[in-house]
């Protein structure tokens, strides 16, 4: 991959949330399972829900969602995130 990507939510840049996880100094990545996808996973979950949920579930979200995103362009919608979260909470 090698280049730094920007992810936006409703037109605003998604903060990388290095305060929760400092896995990828080069920023976000997706379409595989590594440190860049981990950074993206925790940032998405913290934005959508809260820091505690994000910290507890980012690895699973990375494996099940972020690593499966297409390399070029993608969109995650709130109903998709909520459906994934319901599965996680129901499995707990």
Q: Where are the domains of the chain?
A: 8-91
Contact predicate 59/41, CB 8 Å? yes
Return the pLDDT at 6.
84
Distance CA 87, CA 82 (A): 9
* pLDDT tops 60 at residue 2: no
User: What is the per-residue pLDDT across 12-46, written as a single tens digit (0 to 9) for each?
Assistant: 999 999 999 999 888 899 999 899 999 999 999 99
Read off the tokens for 40: 């993206």
User: What is the per-residue pLDDT across 66-86, written as a single tens digit (0 to 9) for each?
Assistant: 999 998 889 999 999 999 999
Contact predicate 30/71, CB 8 Å? yes
Q: What is the Cβ-side half-sphere exposure of residue 27, based on CA atoms within 13 angstroms?
A: 10
Distances (CA, A) of 4 to 7, 32, 34, 65, 76: 10, 15, 15, 20, 19
Return the pLDDT at 27.
87
pTM: 0.90
Q: What is the Cβ-side half-sphere exposure of residue 68, based on CA atoms within 13 angstroms?
A: 6
């Amino acid at each position: 991959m090698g280049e730094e990507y920007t992810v936006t939510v409703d037109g605003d840049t998604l903060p990388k949330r290095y305060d929760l996880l400092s896995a990828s100094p080069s920023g976000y990545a997706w379409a595989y399972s590594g440190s860049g996808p981990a950074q993206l996973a925790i940032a998405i979950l913290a934005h959508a829900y809260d820091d505690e949920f994000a910290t507890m579930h980012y690895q699973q979200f990375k494996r099940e969602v972020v690593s499966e995103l297409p390399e070029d362009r993608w969109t995650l919608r709130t109903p998709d995130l909520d459906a994934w979260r319901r599965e996680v909470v129901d499995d707990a």
